[in-house]
Every structure is written in structure tokens, then in C-alpha cells.
Amino acid sequence: MQKPSVPRGTRDFGPEQMSKRLFLLETIRQTFRRYGFQPIETPALENLSVLMGKYGEEGDQLLFKILNSGDFANGLTQADWQENARKLTLKISEKGLRYDLTVPFARYVVMNRHALAMPFKRYQIQPVWRADRPQKGRYREFVQCDADVVGTDSLLCEAEIVLMLHESLRNLGIQDFTVKINNRKILTGISEVVGAEGQEGPLAVAIDKLDKIGKEKVVEELKQRGFSDESIEKLEPMFQFSNETQAAFAQLKTWLAGSEVGLKGVAELEEVWSLVGQYGLADARIQLDVTLARGLSYYTGAIFEVKANGVQIGSISGGGRYDNLTGAFGMPGLSGVGISLGVDRIYDVMEELKLFPETGLQSTQVLVVHLDAEGRSVGLPLLSQLRAHNISAEAYPDAAKVKKQLDYANAKRIPYVVLIGSEEIQTGQLTLKNMVTGEQQKLAADQIVEKLRQEAALL
């Protein structure tokens, strides 16, 4: 008999894990809604014509492609099988699992542009799939929480993203984090002033590793990528930035004085910092990081990345400004900005830091314990009363011994049980037991409902 298993990079989630995940997701969802974002969903499957070419060559390799239904090889010739993988794939597969939520969102906006009020603010919480190598904090199936604004180039949106990130993480109990911010225009400006115009892509990929491999290794990689000694020498200010934000801005203005686009990027970031200050964000955890480079194939302005400090897990959120993501679908010039929160990585951070509230793990607030059919006839109406007052309640289905039923309550972390034996039936006074403290009270059914209703209101 074959031993059951799940594919590498995927996981099952039991009741306790799901309770934690639902707490996490609902906390983020409530934050998005407070900022005026509306929910949408898109299909798990997208046409490969929508997905291919949007994530760069490496991203295309990480797409999960789905074989066409039926005889997918029908009509293929021997020559077809000898073609390169990309050409063959497009002949046997028309669809794929979505790689992220951003590209499907762009497709959705274009298809529904006449029905949407612009600017359009949407959030989306759904799983995505990537054929990546599984490792800690990296899975092949994982949930993303995206929030985007399209139809405006106002930097107020970037400032609000900073606020949303702070509010979401703090509401989850994550206090020690850093929101790193850069601007794609600054990266372009750096390439211009070091004499490597048009090479910001390979330049950014190398300097993005500065905090991981250090200056010497970055310089070595730049040489391997063909950058001249003169360009590398002009890059020296990159390694000497002040940790004080305003001083760093001043250094950037001096360094990028010969690049119009670079100075525009600096001005945009200065405005974001100013707007965040006007909001009055307390203890802002934002950091200017001119080495930050992500989404180089589509980000055109601000770039965001969030790290949880003190844990060995990669970035837990990222995003940026894009000026023409919908252009690939025939709607050029639509500017937008967004972020994506990695639910699975945030979950791992909260697990490591023990931030999930115990109360969130209780699926049932009260268990009704009966010993026979007569006790059940008293307990079932009580169940209906409790549920009518939005109190989660259940009855043990069998007339088992009291110890077995109490063990069940403890296993499910149910805080209260109502015991209904012969004495309770005769007096009408049921026994309410607090499973945490062991305290017991004799109360009428209505009193039990009122007491538990009041406790639920305090949670």
C-alpha cells in the first residue's frame, strides 16, 4: 500500500494552524478595509498568454504549466518534441497556475476598466504557486495578501502603504520590523553617474546583495558582470551612506547631481517621508535603502521591502510603484502602486515569536455534557439558545463517561462545560464548570447563556 504524502513545498493545515491563519488573515483584511480597499478574487488558472513574459525569464521557468485536457500530444510531430522547452510548452499547455496576484489584477482591471471607479483600490487574499526549490520560509503553494491602487500617480498612496504596513504588523503583535524603501529612478540615476547607463538591471542585482555578501563580493560580482574599474570606483559613495535619513538624502543629491531621473527619485522619496510625517505615524520603522532592488522588470518608482528583525526568515512583504503594468494588455499609461504580504512567512515569524493569542485557538466556547437521553433533551434546547446569541457551542454526541467528555473539552481547549446529570434535571440548576480554573456554579439555562454572552462581549 502506498504511503500518502503531499507534494514538496505544500502543506496541510489542521484546526489549530487554521485558527492561527484565520486570525492572521482577518487582522490584515480589517486593516485593508479601514484604508478603503475593496476585495476581489481571480481564478487559480490563467491563460499562459497572460502569465508568460511578465516575470522575466527566470519567472517563466517557475510557472506551473497545466497540460491541455484530453490527449495533449495529439497532432504533435517528432520535430515538435525536438523543439526547445518554451516552444513545446506552448503547444501542449494553454493554461498555468497564477504566479502572483499582481498580473491577474492587471488583467482584471483591463477587462473591467469601464465598470471601475478610478482610482481603484483593491485587496486580494488568495493562494499562488511557484515551481521554486522549497526551503524554510519558501513554499511552492502559499497565500499572498495584496493591496493595490491604480489610476493615480499620487505619492499619497505610497505614504498610505507605509501606514498600512505598520498597522497590519503591529496589530499582529510584530513590533520589531523595518520597512525598507528605495526608488527605481535612483537605481537608474546611479547607473548614469557611474558611467553604466542602461545597465541598471545587472548593477542593481549585484548591489542588492550588499547586506548579504559584503562590499568585496559585490565588487567581485560587478567585475564578473563586465563593469569597468572606473565605474566601480565611482560607486564608492554607495558603501558610505549615513544611517540618518536626511543626511542620506543630502548625500544622494550630491552624488546624483548629474542625473535628472536620479534626482527625481530622491525628490519622490523625500515627499513620501514628508507625507508619512504629516500623518503622525508614531515610531516609524522606515529606512532608506539605496541598494534595495526588486521587481526590476516592472517597478518604475518606489520599491518596498519589509523585514522582521531578530528572526532568520526572508522578507515578509514587498511591493512598489509601476507605471505601465496594464500596458501588456492594451491599456498603457495606467499608474499604480501596491504591496504583497507573505502570509506564510508572517505566520512563521509569529510562530517563532509566540505571538498568536491563545483565545484565537478556541473554536468552541462551551461543551454541553449529558449522560443519557433525558439529559440530552435538556441540553439540546440550551445549545440552540447559546448559538442564537452567537456563542459557539457543541454537545458531545455520545452518552460517554464524564471523564471522557471532559478530556474532549480539554483537548479542544474549550473553556466551559455544562454538566447535565440527574440532579441538574431535577432542580433545573445546571452545573457550569470553568475548565481553566476548575470553578463550578449552579445556574439556570438562561443565566448560563447571559454569563457566557457577557464574557464573549469582553473578548
Tell me the C-alpha distance between 196 and 198, whole Å: 6
According to the annotation, is 416 in a ligand binding site? no
Q: What are phi and psi of 139, to 5 degrees?
A: -125, 165
Using the predicted structure, report yes or no on whether residue 34 has a pLDDT greater than 70: yes
According to the annotation, is 298 in a ligand binding site? yes
Q: What is the pLDDT of residue 148?
A: 96
Q: What are phi and psi of 88, to 5 degrees?
A: -65, -40
Using the predicted structure, report yes or no on whether residue 164 has a pLDDT greater than 90: yes
The residue among 307, 324, 353 that closes a domain is: 353
On average, the pLDDT of the chain sits at 89
Tell me the C-alpha distance between 442 and 428, whole Å: 9
Considering the domain boundaries, does residue 248 fall inside one?
A: yes
Q: What is the pLDDT of residue 240?
A: 81
According to the annotation, is 148 in a ligand binding site? yes
163 and 233 part of one domain: yes
Three-class DSSP category at 203: helix
Using the predicted structure, report yes or no on whether residue 23 has a pLDDT greater than 80: yes
**Cα 220-237-254 angle, rounded to 5 deg:** 150
The residue among 353, 370, 402 that closes a domain is: 353
336 and 380 part of one domain: no
Q: Which residues of 6-31 are buried (b: 16+ CB within 10 A; e: fewer)?
A: eeebeeeeeeeeebbbebbbebbbeb
Q: What are phi and psi of 120, to 5 degrees?
A: -105, 120
Residue 272 pLDDT grade (very low, low, confident, very high; cuts 50, 70, 90): very high
CA-CA distances (angstroms) from residue 108 to 9, 33, 145?
A: 28, 20, 17
Q: What is the pLDDT of residue 321?
A: 94
- 66 vs 122 pLDDT, higher one: 122
**% of the chain residues with pLDDT over 90:** 62
Q: For residue 33, give every residue at least 6 positions away whose Cβ sits within 8 Å of its Cβ, in sequence order, or none.
A: 123
Candidate from 46-60, 114-128, 254-268, 307-321 with smallest mean pLDDT: 46-60
- Please name the helix (run of DSSP H) or strand (run of DSSP E) that holds residue 387, with its range, or none: helix 373-388
**Cα 133-344-146 angle, rounded to 5 deg:** 105
181 and 151 part of one domain: yes
According to the annotation, is 294 in a ligand binding site? yes
According to the annotation, is 299 in a ligand binding site? yes
369 and 421 part of one domain: yes
According to the annotation, is 144 in a ligand binding site? yes
- 78 vs 454 pLDDT, higher one: 454
Q: What is the pLDDT of residue 174?
A: 97
Q: What is the mean pLDDT of residues 250-257?
A: 93
220 and 289 part of one domain: yes
According to the annotation, is 130 in a ligand binding site? yes
Three-class DSSP category at 310: coil
pLDDT tens, position by position, 53-107? 888 778 888 999 988 877 777 777 776 676 766 667 776 778 999 999 989 999 9
199 and 231 part of one domain: yes
Q: What is the pLDDT of residue 84?
A: 67
Q: What is the pLDDT of residue 214?
A: 76
Question: Please, is 360 exposed, middle or buried when counting C-beta atoms within 10 Å of its C-beta (0-12, 13-18, 19+)?
Answer: middle
380 and 262 part of one domain: no
336 and 377 part of one domain: no
Considering the domain boundaries, does residue 78 fall inside one?
A: no
Residue 287 pLDDT grade (very low, low, confident, very high; cuts 50, 70, 90): very high
Three-class DSSP category at 367: strand
pTM value? 0.84
Q: How many domains does the chain have?
A: 2
Give residue 257's domain range.
15-38+114-120+130-353
Considering the domain boundaries, does residue 60 fall inside one?
A: no
pLDDT tens, position by position, 333-360? 889 999 999 898 899 899 999 999 876 5
Which range among 121-135, 156-170, 391-405, 409-423 has the greatest average pLDDT?
A: 156-170
Residue 137 pLDDT grade (very low, low, confident, very high; cuts 50, 70, 90): low
Which CATH number is 430's domain given? 3.40.50.800
Considering the domain boundaries, does residue 61 fall inside one?
A: no
Q: What is the pLDDT of residue 206?
A: 82
Q: What is the pLDDT of residue 11?
A: 92
- 91 vs 177 pLDDT, higher one: 177
208 and 187 part of one domain: yes
Tell me the C-alpha distance between 16 and 10, whole Å: 17
305 and 336 part of one domain: yes
The residue among 334, 353, 372 that closes a domain is: 353
Which range among 79-88, 283-292, 322-331 has the greatest average pLDDT?
A: 283-292
Question: Please, is 408 exposed, middle or buried when counting C-beta atoms within 10 Å of its C-beta (0-12, 13-18, 19+)?
Answer: middle
Considering the domain boundaries, does residue 222 fall inside one?
A: yes
Using the predicted structure, report yes or no on whether residue 235 has a pLDDT greater than 90: no
Considering the domain boundaries, does residue 180 fall inside one?
A: yes
Query: Nearest CA to 190 among 232, 151, 159?
Result: 232
246 and 387 part of one domain: no
- CB-CB contact of 186 with 256 (8 Å): yes
Which CATH number is 260's domain given? 3.30.930.10
Q: What is the pLDDT of residue 232?
A: 80
Residue 208 pLDDT grade (very low, low, confident, very high; cuts 50, 70, 90): confident
According to the annotation, is 184 in a ligand binding site? no
Q: What is the pLDDT of residue 362?
A: 66
Residue 162 pLDDT grade (very low, low, confident, very high; cuts 50, 70, 90): very high
According to the annotation, is 100 in a ligand binding site? yes
Helices (H) and strands (E) in the chain, counts: 18, 16
Considering the domain boundaries, does residue 3 fall inside one?
A: no
Considering the domain boundaries, does residue 101 fall inside one?
A: no
343 and 382 part of one domain: no
Q: What is the pLDDT of residue 360?
A: 59
Q: What is the mean pLDDT of residues 451-455?
A: 89
- 357 vs 45 pLDDT, higher one: 45
Q: What is the pLDDT of residue 223?
A: 81
How much of the chain is in helix, strand and coil states, percent to nearest 5? 45, 20, 35
Q: What is the mean pLDDT of residues 187-208?
A: 83
